[in-house]
Amino acid sequence: MIGIFDSGLGGLTIMKELLATLPSYQLLYLGDTARTPYGNRSQAVIYDFTVQAVDYLFKQNCRLVIVACNTASAQALKKLQQEWLPQNYPDRTVLGVVRPLAEVAARQSKLGRVGVVGTRSTVDSNTYVRELTTQKASLKVYQQACPLLVPLIEEGWLKRPETMKILRTYLRPLKRQNIDTLILGCTHYPIIYASFVKVMGKNVSVLDSGKIVAEKLTDYLKRHPEVEANIVKGDNHRFLVTDINENFHAVAKPFLNREIKLEKVILS
């Protein structure tokens, strides 16, 4: 199986594209809904939570796990890949979402002015800045923390005027910088992708992170047949959460356009 981990429901934006792009692979989603959001937590806590989640998914027979949470990718992924994984699961794979988005943004930005929105933790980590400038040193990167968006999306306030007003406020500084490409550095944000596009206007390319990650994973599996051969195929997709709440189901069902059954699990 392919595991998808997020702090809440944001990883569904990745799962939706994987269901469309790689329909033969069995997916196991894990949302840490009891402890979301991660964006205002310390790096040490985020790392511990991420290790617990990835370990749980591996024990459920996932051979490959996508850390779909940008905050966890920014604050925990490198240490997890370099230290924890070789010691505990040397035959498994963990991938993140930061590098795929940075690669595409660096390649397609014509003006060399890239904006990044994310949680406060992701922005403070400067992970996107480092990754983008590694891809192309001349890039100018402008970041904006949007701490209120994840709670609003988790609450299901997707089309409320309050959400749009807050979004406009957050994006105003980036528009002033004349960026031509915007990275949604949180997997929750594509759930309101159309709102980002509307606010930024026709001169800014808002990257579709779900599609990009799905395309990059497809390419990765082609390049690593030894990994692909061990992934279980099938359509018995499961949805695990650390706390069952109606908001998750209310957002997930129409977004994925399918019936889902939530299973509660405990991470430790």
CATH at residue 184: 3.40.50.1860
Of the candidates 243, 186, 229, 162, the one whose C-alpha atom is nearest the C-alpha of residue 40 is 186
Give pLDDT, residue 247. 84
Q: Which of 193, 208, 223 is the last residue of a domain?
A: 208
Q: Decide if 149 contacts 155 (C-beta within 8 A).
A: no
Residue 259 pLDDT more than 90?
no
pLDDT at residue number 246: 83
Q: Look at 59 and 253; give whichever has higher pLDDT.
A: 59
Average pLDDT of the segment spanning 233-262 = 91
Same domain for 154 and 181? yes
Number of domains in the chain: 2
Q: What pLDDT is attached to residue 77?
A: 96
**What are the catalytic residues?**
69, 186
pLDDT, tens digit (0-9, with 9 covering 90-100), for 50-95: 999 999 999 999 999 999 999 999 999 999 999 999 999 999 999 9
Backbone torsion region of residue 234, taken as left when φ is above 0, otherwise alpha when ψ lies between -120 and 50, otherwise beta: left
Give the pLDDT confidence of 171-217 residue by residue, as tens digits: 999 999 999 999 999 999 999 999 999 999 999 999 999 999 999 99
Lowest mean pLDDT among 32-46, 98-112, 244-258: 244-258
Average pLDDT over every residue of 88-108: 96
Token pair listed for 94 = 């963990």
Whole domain around residue 30: which residue ranges? 2-96+211-264
pLDDT digits (tens, 9 = 90+) for 122-159: 999 999 999 999 999 999 999 999 999 999 998 889 99
Return the sign of the alpha-carbon dihedral for residues 234, 97, 224, 48.
negative
Claim to verify: residue 28 and residue 39 sit in the same structural domain: yes
Taking the C-alpha atoms of residue 254 and residue 248, their distance in angstroms, rounded to an integer, is: 11
User: Taking the complete model, does pTM exceed 0.85, yes or no?
Assistant: yes
Two structure tokens written together for 27: 């997916």
What per-residue confidence (pLDDT) applies to 245? 85
Same domain, 245 and 153: no
Domain identity same for 196 and 215:
no
Q: What is the mean pLDDT of the chain?
A: 95
pLDDT at site 268:
84
Q: Is the pLDDT assigned to residue 40 strictly greater than 90?
A: no
pLDDT for 39 beyond 90? no
Q: Domain boundary residue among 162, 182, 208?
A: 208
Tokens matching residue 127:
């992970």
Mean pLDDT along residues 42-46: 95
Whether residue 17 has pLDDT greater than 90 = yes
Q: Which pLDDT does position 22 carry in this prediction?
A: 94
pLDDT confidence band for 249 (50 / 70 / 90): confident
- The pLDDT, as a whole number, for residue 208 is 93
Whether residues 66 and 81 share a domain: the answer is yes
